[in-house]
Amino acid sequence: MDLKDQVGTTSQSRFRIERRHTVPALPLDLPALAEMPEVLATPVLVAMMEAACLEHIAGLIPGPVLSLGRRVEIDHLAATPVGCTVELTTRLVSAEGRQLGFDITASDGIEAIARGRHDRMVVDRDRFVARLAEKAKRVPR
C-alpha cells in the first residue's frame, strides 16, 4: 500500500449539528455536563475529524485492511450551536509505510471552529479483529 502519490490531496466533509452532538447530550453520567450550553462537544468534533479522514482515503486503501486512529491534536477555537453545518477540510500531509498524517480545519459557516492533526495507521483487518477478540476474552466479567 503506497499513498505517497496522494500526499497533498484534500477533501471536504459536512455534518449538520444536532442536539445529540452537544455537550449536555454526551453519554456520560456527569451532572456538570448536563448544565453546559448546547454547543458542539469536542469529543464529537474529534469523531467528525476522524470520519472526515476515513472518507478522504475511502477507496484508496485496498481490502482487507482498515485504518485506525493513532493520534489526534486539536485546537477547538469556537463554539458551534445546534443547526450549524460544520465543514471539515482534510489534507493528507504524509504517507510513510502504514502511517498516514492529516491536517484538518473546520468551519461552522460563520467562523473557523477548529484546526488539528490526525494520524492513522493502516492495519490488516482480520489480524486486528482476531487480536481484539483475544483481548476481549481477558476482560473481567
Active site residues: 42, 50, 76
DSSP secondary structure of 74-140: EEE-S--BTT-EEEEEEEEEEEETTEEEEEEEEE-SSSEEEEEEEEEEEEEHHHHHHHHHHHHHTS-
Q: Residue 48: in which H helix or E strand, if any?
A: helix 42-57
**Are the beta carbons of 121 and 35 closer than 8 angstroms?**
no
Distance in angstroms (rounded) separating the CA atoms of residues 57 and 118: 13
Distance in angstroms (rounded) separating the CA atoms of residues 90 and 44: 16
Residues in the chain: 141
